[in-house]
């Protein structure tokens, strides 16, 4: 946010919470970072209650002490928006708000009365990832997640209003969560096309129309197309090593360049580093007027990312690289397929590892001839029970074809999953696991209801069970 909180530099009272500090049923474990209004701490439940998808939470502290009445009101409004949005629009691509509290502690006068938002904790922000550099496939996965979140927000009648890499969080499993809804605005116009937000935001991500928007009684007019503009800036940054698409040494200078462009006095000059597909996408997001940008919704952009030609090309490229590796090492990768397929599911629409159609131990074994338990030779994976994508294993579509990323179903399996088995194929493509165990046997397993296919194949090296099931008829080669 642009506004600056009250200056407390000549005040030696501490506003830092130490590890172990208790906030309701949570305790602080360390500091994560701070923004213009808030400091975010890592935390965990004191009583061992499960916070949800993991023990760790983020505690966002929004102090109000020492602020003038209008700034204090802004902070309260910010928190109210975050809580309101969290309450009304839950989605796997939006950071989950677990609860909100008020910090009441006279020992910390600067924090007494602060609003505390307890959220699921992310591992990173897109800002950090961009600084380290992302591949095109990684970018595709990230922007798929961002568009999914935005599409949901816009469908639910909200504009994010402060979309930027700092507010795109990435979880330990690589999935994306939009966060920081302090400037989110509910659409209220006659047709739900716009809303009114406080005149704040991050300069580098503001669309041209916001620079001259009149400030009315309820704030400035914002539309979903403002988020699409910010998305265009982020796409550019992702491929241009963090560089903004508009020239200038300061955000204000870049803002002036944005306006020159919007008024037709300068062309859009995107970096040559953007691959053609992303260049076109960024240019559409950065259409100069909100009316032109309106043609590109989060949903339509998501459909384009999912259907992008390079998606197929890069998946094929990965498959080719994988095949080369297979040939070189002669290991017909059971675990390798697991790792490669995790990347594959990451880059695909629907993001299989976020909502894995896992078979699990609840998979229906009715009418199956037996069952097998999945065994992962990687010891570190056997010790985990968080169904991490890195530890997931792929089931083959065709046991007569190389066990590569283009030959596995979206359903993932993990060590310990129990799969219903129909039959055993004594001679499919031979697989050698990482310990050198080789087998050409495969098991035909049932997939959960709702999967696109009803069955898939697990190589026998991926289980230690040898159930007495009938022999499968030789499958008809698919390719």
Ligand X SMILES: Nc1ncnc2c1ncn2[C@@H]1O[C@H](COP(=O)(O)OP(=O)(O)OP(=O)(O)O)[C@@H](O)[C@H]1O
Q: State the binding site for ATP.
A: 60
Any contact of residue 38 with ligand X (CB under 6 A)? Answer: yes
Nearer residue to ligand X within complex by CB, 145 or 394: 145
Any contact of residue 95 with ligand X (CB under 6 A)? Answer: yes
Any contact of residue 33 with ligand X (CB under 6 A)? Answer: yes
Any contact of residue 180 with ligand X (CB under 6 A)? Answer: yes
Per CB under 6 A, the segment of 27-35, 205-213, 280-288, 449-457 that binds ligand X is 27-35
**Torsion 335-338-341-346 (CA) sign:** negative
Any contact of residue 30 with ligand X (CB under 6 A)? Answer: no
Nearer residue to ligand X within complex by CB, 121 or 290: 121
Any contact of residue 200 with ligand X (CB under 6 A)? Answer: no
Nearer residue to ligand X within complex by CB, 4 or 478: 4
Any contact of residue 35 with ligand X (CB under 6 A)? Answer: yes
Report helix, strand and coil shares of the chain as percent, to nearest 5: 35, 20, 45
Any contact of residue 234 with ligand X (CB under 6 A)? Answer: no
Taking the complex as a whole, how short is the minimal distance between the CB of residue 7 and ligand X, in angstroms?
16
Contact letters (x/-) for ligand X, 113-152, by CB under 6 A?
------x-xx--x---------------------------
Task: Could you list the beta-strand ranges (E) of 171-258.
Answer: 176-178, 185-186, 195-197, 220-222
Q: Scanning residues 439 to 468, which ones bind ligand X (CB under 6 A)?
A: none
Taking the complex as a whole, how short is the minimal distance between the CB of residue 296 and ligand X, in angstroms?
25
Residues in the chain: 479
**Cα→Cα distances 351→312, 381, 401, Å:** 15, 21, 24
Q: Which pairing describes strands 57-62 and 97-102: parallel, antiparallel, or unpaired?
A: unpaired
**Cα→Cα distances 469→205, 371, 423, Å:** 60, 9, 5
Binds ligand X (CB under 6 A): choice among 55, 138, 166, 299? 166
- Concatenating the DSSP letter of every residue in 142-191 gives HHHHHHHHHHHHHHTTEE-S--SGGGEEE-TTS-EEE---TT-EE--STT
Taking the complex as a whole, how short is the minimal distance between the CB of residue 48 and ligand X, in angstroms?
21
Contact letters (x/-) for ligand X, 371-390, by CB under 6 A?
--------------------
Nearer residue to ligand X within complex by CB, 233 or 374: 233
The count of residues interacting with ligand X (CB under 6 A) is 21
Question: Cα separation of 53 and 134, whole Å?
Answer: 26
Any contact of residue 40 with ligand X (CB under 6 A)? Answer: yes
Residue nearest to ligand X (CB): 35
Cβ atoms of 1 and 35 within 8 Å: the answer is yes
Write out the binding residues. 60
Specify whether the backbone of 174 is left (phi greater than 0), alpha (psi in -120 to 50) or beta: left
H/E stretch holding 119 reads strand 115-120
Question: Cα separation of 88 and 102, whole Å?
Answer: 21
Nearer residue to ligand X within complex by CB, 174 or 182: 182
Question: Cα separation of 407 and 319, whole Å?
Answer: 9
Cβ atoms of 96 and 82 within 8 Å: the answer is no
Nearer residue to ligand X within complex by CB, 173 or 422: 173
Query: Residue 279: what are its φ and ψ, rounded to 5°?
Result: -65, -45
Taking the complex as a whole, how short is the minimal distance between the CB of residue 118 and ligand X, in angstroms?
9
Any contact of residue 343 with ligand X (CB under 6 A)? Answer: no
Nearer residue to ligand X within complex by CB, 139 or 168: 168
Question: Cα separation of 102 and 114, whole Å?
Answer: 6
Which residues lie below 8 Å from residue 19, measured CB to CB, with a gap of 6+?
28, 29, 30
Taking the complex as a whole, how short is the minimal distance between the CB of residue 200 and ligand X, in angstroms?
9
Look up residue 249 and give its DSSP letter: S
Nearer residue to ligand X within complex by CB, 32 or 357: 32
Q: End-to-end CA distance of the chain, in Å? A: 55
Q: Scanning residues 401 to 430, which ones bind ligand X (CB under 6 A)?
A: none
Any contact of residue 49 with ligand X (CB under 6 A)? Answer: no
Taking the complex as a whole, how short is the minimal distance between the CB of residue 84 and ligand X, in angstroms?
16
Contacting residues toward ligand X, per CB under 6 A: 1, 32-38, 40, 58, 60, 95, 119, 121-122, 125, 166, 169, 179-180, 182
């Amino acid at each position: 946010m642009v506004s600056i909180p009250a200056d407390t530099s000549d005040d030696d009272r501490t506003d830092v919470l130490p590890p172990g500090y208790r906030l309701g049923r949570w305790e602080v474990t360390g500091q994560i970072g701070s923004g213009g209004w808030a400091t975010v701490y890592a935390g965990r439940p004191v009583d061992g209650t499960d916070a949800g998808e993991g023990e760790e939470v983020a505690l966002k502290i929004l102090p109000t002490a020492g602020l003038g009445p209008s700034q204090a009101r802004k902070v309260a409004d910010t928190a109210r928006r975050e809580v309101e949005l969290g309450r009304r629009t839950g989605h796997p691509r939006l950071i989950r708000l677990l609860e909100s509290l008020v910090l009441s502690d006279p020992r910390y006068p600067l924090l007494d009365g602060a609003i505390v938002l307890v959220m699921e904790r992310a591992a990173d922000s897109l800002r950090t990832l961009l600084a380290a550099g992302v591949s095109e496939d990684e970018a595709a996965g990230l922007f798929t997640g961002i568009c999914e979140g935005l599409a949901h927000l816009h469908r639910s009648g909200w504009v994010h209003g402060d979309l930027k890499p700092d507010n795109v969080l990435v979880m330990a499993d690589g999935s994306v969560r939009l966060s920081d809804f302090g400037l989110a605005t509910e659409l209220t116009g006659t047709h739900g096309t716009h809303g009114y937000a406080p005149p704040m935001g991050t300069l580098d991500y503001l669309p041209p129309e916001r620079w001259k928007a009149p400030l009315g009684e309820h704030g400035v007019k914002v539309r979903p197309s403002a988020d699409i503009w910010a998305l265009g800036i982020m796409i550019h940054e992702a491929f241009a090593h963090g560089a903004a698409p508009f020239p200038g040494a300061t955000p204000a200078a870049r803002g002036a360049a944005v306006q020159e462009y919007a008024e037709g006095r300068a062309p859009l000059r995107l970096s040559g580093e953007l691959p053609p597909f992303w260049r076109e996408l960024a240019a559409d997001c950065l259409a100069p007027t909100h009316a032109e940008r309106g043609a590109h919704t989060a949903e339509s952009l998501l459909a384009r990312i999912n259907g992008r030609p390079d998606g197929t090309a890069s998946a094929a490229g990965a498959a080719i690289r994988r095949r080369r590796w297979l040939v070189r090492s002669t290991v017909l990768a059971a675990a390798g397929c697991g790792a490669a397929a995790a990347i594959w599911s990451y880059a695909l629409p629907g993001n299989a590892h976020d909502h894995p159609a896992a078979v699990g131990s609840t998979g229906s074994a009715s009418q199956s001839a037996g069952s097998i338990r999945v065994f992962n030779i990687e010891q570190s994976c056997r010790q985990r029970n968080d169904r991490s994508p890195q530890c997931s294993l792929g089931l083959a579509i065709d046991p007569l074809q190389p066990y590569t990323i283009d030959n596995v179903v979206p359903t993932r399996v993990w060590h310990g999953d129990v799969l219903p088995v129909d039959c055993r194929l004594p001679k499919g493509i031979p697989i050698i696991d990482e310990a050198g165990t080789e087998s050409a046997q495969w098991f035909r397993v049932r997939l959960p209801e709702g999967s696109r296919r009803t069955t898939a194949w697990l190589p026998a090296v991926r289980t230690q069970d040898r159930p007495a099931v009938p022999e499968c008829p030789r499958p008809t080669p698919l390719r």
